[in-house]
Amino acid sequence: MISNLSGAAVEAIVGDYALQAERGSVSGTLIRRPRIGLYRPWRASMDEGWTRWLLEQYGFQFSSVYNHDVVAGDLGDRYDVIVIGDMSASQITAGFARGSVPPRYAGGIGNEGVRALDEFVRSGGTLVTWNSSSIFAVDALHLPVKNATADIPRDEFFLAGSIVAMTVDPSHPVMSGMPERSKVFVARSPVFTVEEEFVGSVFAKYQSEGSPLLSGYLLGEEHLQGFASGLDVYHGDGHVILLGMRPQWRGQPFGNFRIVFNAALYSDGVANLAPANDDFWVVPEEEGEEGEANDSGSGQRDRRMGGERR
């Protein structure tokens, strides 16, 4: 958005950069810039480094969040959104073993840090996770979400380092600006389904038929069909964003960067303005349980309709 420039100046910018632009009013809802924290473990994470680089390159204001910052609690006094890149639960909670490094660098956030994150979200904060950190969030915060491919053997399902097609809901702020059929990078990414207690919304999913593979390798496309790849889970008064993808993988998938940016800006003020899209996704039928799955799918729509956006 460009404002406070003369018409001639705006036209010059549009022409110089070959932009597609339109004039509009300045009316709207004022939203405060969120205070963004990026979790930075002492047990170094390549994905955290790439995320930090990406946010720095595009001028985001954010702070690194270390283990002691999380354990100290009262996260809502300092942050509106906390982002955790692709890293395992053990890297987050346990970190380096005691005695293997100087004491200040040993350990992770532990159970105390998990409780602090839980309180942060329940009090209105947003926790953004993708890939392995999404599984951490599901398990640590006891979210009513499952990884539908977790127990499938590798000789039946394998998807790593590939580009796939996903159907997304551009009306949800996390997918704002993305085409409805998007090309997204994945690498051993979780595939989501939800349990009966789920309240929230789904903003990205796999197609219900055929293969979504565009480039790379995929074995077992049937294990993706109809399942979710992006969720906004309501948790207390806050939100947990679960992304089954690698939207900033090594700084390369430029078409996916806006997913990272949108998620990092998804504070409660933005969430309160998000429109509902109750028909975007239903729980896919499980093989051999058609009747039960149909009931589950209908219930998921009811849960979304019953969940109040905050």
Which tokens sit at 158? 């394998």
Average pLDDT over residues 249-276: 91
Return the sign of the alpha-carbon dihedral for residues 115, 121, 125, 131: positive
Q: Report phi then psi at 88, rounded to 5.
A: -75, 165
pLDDT digits (tens, 9 = 90+) for 13-51: 778 777 766 776 666 677 789 999 999 999 989 999 999
Reduce the DSSP state of residue 95 to 3 states and report it. coil
Average pLDDT over residues 116-124: 98
With b for 16 or more beta-carbon neighbours within 10 A and e for fewer, the 17-40 pattern comes to eeeeeeeeeeeeeeeeebbbbbbb
pLDDT, position 294:
42
CA-based nearest residue to 247, from 193, 208, 199, 204 = 204
pLDDT, position 173:
95
Alpha-carbon span 266 to 218, nearest angstrom: 32
Alpha-carbon span 122 to 119, nearest angstrom: 5
pLDDT at 261 over 70: yes
Least confident among 42-51, 196-205, 283-292: 283-292
CA-based nearest residue to 249, from 164, 187, 180 = 187
CA-based nearest residue to 38, from 189, 263, 271, 258 = 263
pLDDT at 303 over 50: no
CA dihedral of 69, 108, 190, 168, whole degrees rounded to 10:
10
CA-based nearest residue to 120, from 235, 230, 200 = 235
Alpha-carbon span 48 to 216, nearest angstrom: 24
CB-CB contact of 61 with 11 (8 Å): no
Look at 289 and 11; give whichever has higher pLDDT: 11
CB-CB contact of 195 with 158 (8 Å): no
> Residue for token digits 């910052």?
69
CA-based nearest residue to 88, from 140, 155, 162 = 140
pLDDT interval class at 276 (50, 70, 90): confident
Look up the pTM and report it: 0.85
pLDDT digits (tens, 9 = 90+) for 63-81: 999 999 999 999 999 999 9
Alpha-carbon span 47 to 67, nearest angstrom: 17
CA-based nearest residue to 62, from 243, 270, 263 = 263
CB-CB contact of 85 with 130 (8 Å): yes
CA-based nearest residue to 209, from 298, 120, 285, 299 = 285
The residues facing 228 across adjacent strands are 192, 205
Average pLDDT over residues 173-186: 95
All structural domains of the chain, each given as residue ranges with its CATH number in brackets, are 35-306 (3.40.50.880)
CA-based nearest residue to 54, from 259, 298, 228 = 259
pLDDT at 185 over 80: yes
pLDDT digits (tens, 9 = 90+) for 153-170: 999 999 989 999 999 999
DSSP state for residue 228 in the 8-state scheme: E
pLDDT interval class at 302 (50, 70, 90): very low
pLDDT at 220 over 60: yes
